[in-house]
Amino acid sequence: MNRDSLDFLIPMFPFSHFSQYSILIINQTEKDRILVSDLPNVRVMNVFEKGLSGSRNTAIKNASKKIGLISDDDVVYLPGFDAAIVQAFETSENAIVTFNHRRMGLENPQNLSKNPYNHNSKTIWEVCSIEIAFRVNEIRKNNLLFNENFGLGAAFETAEELLFLRKALQLKLKTAFNPFVIEEHPLLTSGDRQGQDKLIFARAALSYKLRGALTYIWLPKFLLFLLQHNFIRRDEYVSKFKIGLSGIRKYKALERLQTEKY
């Protein structure tokens, strides 16, 4: 967001110059802060709408190569990441392959599995968007895009990659995990934020999308879990419950608008 120089790409590729790679940057910015590239392998699209999922979708629609890899501007790629990705697709018919990453300063990768496997409705909960690679034509042919109601900058700031992969499985696209660690990412403190209003709001909406009316049973159980693990205080329980209900109402309202639109 709001980039006006390509210098942020330098630390992302510490072992070679970024111009060796085909990069498409979706720069969410203001009209007076434009990013420009003179490098043939680095394309830039300046967009003036906010929302992570919208940015991902713009990238999917405008990707120019056979294989796409989703990225953030704070990842650091590891040597051999590109060869591992190419090999994974050349030796399989998978439409989507998710790889592995590790948090900076930690030895173990995020996913401790050392063996590849096919994804299912349970394993996709563990995937980060920066691990997702895909055959561009397969994704476009099936009109597979990110749900723009979910993700940073959207109404519900969570789970955009989960819903993307869930839709892929529903479309019967071959989706697999490869244990190769392709990148590092800064340490996150999301565990400390689990009790935040916006996450409870978003997770209640996500639960309603996945579970429907059963969310009214799930929500008090989820809040009890947060209480037991000290993510919320006892005197916050009722207010957090109301926030969850407001997330459900918001999702239902957006769903109605979308139904009316089409």
Q: The pTM is what? A: 0.94
d(CA 27, CA 45): 6
pLDDT value, residue 259: 72
pLDDT (0 to 100) of residue 188: 65
* DSSP H stretches of helix in 100-211: 136-141, 160-170, 197-211
For domain 6-185, the CATH superfamily is Spore Coat Polysaccharide Biosynthesis Protein SpsA; Chain A (3.90.550.10)
Length of the chain: 262
Instruction: Map out the domains of the chain as residue ranges.
Output: 6-185, 190-261
Token pair of 106 as six digits: 């930690």
* Segment 225-228 long-range contacts (CB within 8 Å, at least 24 positions apart): 226/194, 226/195, 226/200
Q: Tell me the pLDDT tens digit for each residue of 102-139.
A: 999 999 999 999 999 999 999 999 999 999 999 999 99
pLDDT given at position 194 = 87
* pLDDT for residue 40: 95
**Given this model, what pLDDT does residue 42 score?**
98
Tens digit of each residue's pLDDT (9 = 90 or more) over 193-218: 789 999 999 999 999 999 999 999 99
What pLDDT does residue 190 have? 46
The reported pLDDT for the residue numbered 261 is 57
Q: What's the CA gap between 74 and 17, in Å, rounded?
A: 16
Residues of the chain with pLDDT under 50: 189-191, 262
Joined tokens for residue 12:
């992302």
The dihedral sign for the CA sequence 125, 127, 132, 134: negative
Spatial distance between the Cα atoms of 233 and 223, rounded to a whole number of angstroms: 10
Terminal C-alpha separation, the chain = 31
135: CB partners within 8 A, 6+ apart: 66, 67, 89, 94, 95, 96
Residue pair 113/145 in contact (Cβ under 8 Å)? The answer is no
